[in-house]
Chains A and B, each alone.
Chain A
Amino acid sequence: MATNPKGPMKTPPAVPATHQTLFETLLELIRMTSTNLPPDVRKSVVDGLEKEKAGSAGEYAMKVIQRNIDIACGVSQPLCQDTGSILFFVKTPVGYDQISFAEVAEAAVAKATELGYLRQNSVDSITGQNSGNNLGPGTPTIYFEQHRSEDLDIRLALKGGGCENVGAQYSLPDSRLGAGRDLEGVRKVVLDAVYQAQGKGCGPGILGVVIGGDRSTGFSYSKKLFLRPLDDENPDGRLAELEKRIMQEANSLGIGPMGFGGNTTLLGVKIAALNRLPASFYVSVSYMCWAFRRQGVKAAANGALKEWIYK
């Protein structure tokens, strides 16, 4: 990595010998996530390519995308130079030391940055200074929860800034769109978000949509929806139906890959609902680019990698 002339602002935590295995697992998870798209995403890209007209700009974009996926994996280098927000979703056994985990994760992120698997992507919002190693207030982000298992479930999503910028949050009712506080209103605002994004979010995209919650829980849960495999079925029949309908209607808008025009505007839609206050009705839409970098591992409590989750 090009060194930061002023040096990293935050020294990565030292990794004790007891946590070396976890450090190596996390470093490998970051490398795999940044360089190799999971099989469900690859398949949807192939499906998208087949839907584009021969000789069209949309087909051209999908072909470049497909070639890019293959090269990145072959040379083990970042699929996209914007290695994005680093979002860890971690389930730990009851009583597990999450403070140490966070320190090891920071050390792994700093090392991955040094090795070029991650770009220097953490900027001081007041001074504009890049921290040089992706460490700083709020970066990386780690969502912890406990589960009744002896193992660690560690998932990572890298979400670029271009697609993050086209995310949107609506407060219903929305008079501009004639969207009321029901699933029909949700459908309207989500399609509006797709229209507003055009090609700026590096489509074909994947939407994470949360109905309800508050401004922060809605958005944070919408990102967790990216952990669902693209080809799964929503267990809630009403939401499964809405997902299918939005997918079909969004693809009929003709925005196409990269906004070049074409049939593939979205690769997937994932929707969940949270309870809300009587006074609020938010719809939070996170947009993920086609470079949908998401991977995960199941690991023993000492960090030893047991298996990849998306395979």
Chain B
Amino acid sequence: MREIKLTLPVSEEQVRALNVGDMVLLSGVLYTGRDAVHKHLYEGKSIPVDIRGSAIYHCGPVVVKTESGEWSVRAAGPTTSTREEPYQATVIEKFGIRAVIGKGGMGAKTLKACKDFGCVYLHAVGGAAQVLAETVQKVRGVSMLEEFGSPEAIWELEVKDFPALVTIDAHGNSLHADVAASSEQKLNEVLGTKK
């Protein structure tokens, strides 16, 4: 596997140079956004932060306020991405994000949007909340906390060497589609069924 270091925000060219199977280490500022945020953006509503060129992270972190009044991320693994499938393509197009980070992969609409607009899907290791929280250097801010609650808010996180695997690239390739196809073939062999 290739290991590639990237600093957010990234250019379209940088994103198009990535391929399925590349391991990336992300630094810079990324934004959490899950169900409520995606629905909100899809409906054409605005948010108070500019996410263009950056990454949206499907994550509902555990965040606490320390005694000095600073936010501190205690756990920050990815949530299942398919729930955003109806919205993601529009969000990639309208808000110019270059990477979607999550887990479990995404479907055909997102795959096409990644190809058309220059974006990649980065798969973080689900459940690895501590490994990923350790990469968070600072919470730069939070938006929509009041409206959506803590897990659904937009947390602006400064990260260093956040590890993830490219599983959908900007060339129309998807590791998820490949594994689904090969495992289906294997399943049919095991069950003795033909398709």
Q: List 13 A-B contacts (CB under 8 A).
A: A2-B153, A5-B145, A68-B131, A80-B129, A81-B60, A130-B150, A162-B104, A165-B80, A191-B191, A255-B179, A259-B176, A261-B175, A289-B126
Q: Is A2 a contact partner of B60 (Cβ separation < 8 A)?
A: no
A273 partner residues in chain B, CB cutoff 8 A? none
CA distance A253 to B62 in the complex (A): 34
CB neighbours (8 Å) of B64 from chain A are 1-2, 116
Q: Does A67 contact B (CB under 8 A)?
A: yes
Does B4 count as interface, using CB distance less than 8 angstroms? no
Asked whether A71 lies within 8 Å of B126 as measured between CB atoms, the reply is no
The interface size bin for chain A is 35 or more
Residues of chain B touching chain A, judged by Cβ–Cβ distance below 8 Å, are 1, 21, 23, 36, 59-65, 71, 74-77, 79-80, 82, 103-105, 123, 125-131, 133-134, 142, 145-146, 149-153, 163, 165, 167, 175-176, 178-180, 182-184, 186-187, 190-191, 193
Measured between beta carbons, the chain A residues less than 8 angstroms from B21 are: 57
Closest 3 CB pairs of A and B: A81-B75, A130-B149, A202-B126
Q: For residue B129, which residues in chain A have a CB less than 8 angstroms away from its CB?
A: 68, 72, 77-81
A71, B131: Cβ atoms closer than 8 Å: yes
- Measured CA separation A264–B125 after assembly (Å): 15
CA distance A39 to B126 in the complex (A): 20
Q: A119-B60, A202-B126 are in contact. Are A67 and B131 (CB under 8 A)?
A: yes
Give the residue name and chain of the A residue nearest to B163 (CB).
A64
A77 to B73, CA, bound (A): 10
**Which residues of A lie under 8 Å from residue B165 when comparing CB positions?**
57, 60-61, 260
CB contact under 8 A between A261 and B163, given known A5-B145, A81-B59, A81-B129: no
CA distance A289 to B146 in the complex (A): 31
Q: Find B149's partner among A4, A55, A56, A253 (CB 8 Å cutoff).
A: A4
Restricting to A21-76, which residues have a CB under 8 Å from any CB of B? 55-57, 60-61, 64-65, 67-68, 71-72, 75
Q: CA of A81 to CA of B59 in the docked complex: distance in angstroms? A: 9
Give the residues in chain A near B104, CB-CB below 8 Å.
Answer: 162, 198-200, 202, 259
Residues of A within 8 A of B75 (CB): 77-81, 119
Chain B nearest CB: distance from A123 CB in Å?
A: 8
Contacts of B79 on A, CB cut-off 8 Å? 82, 161-162
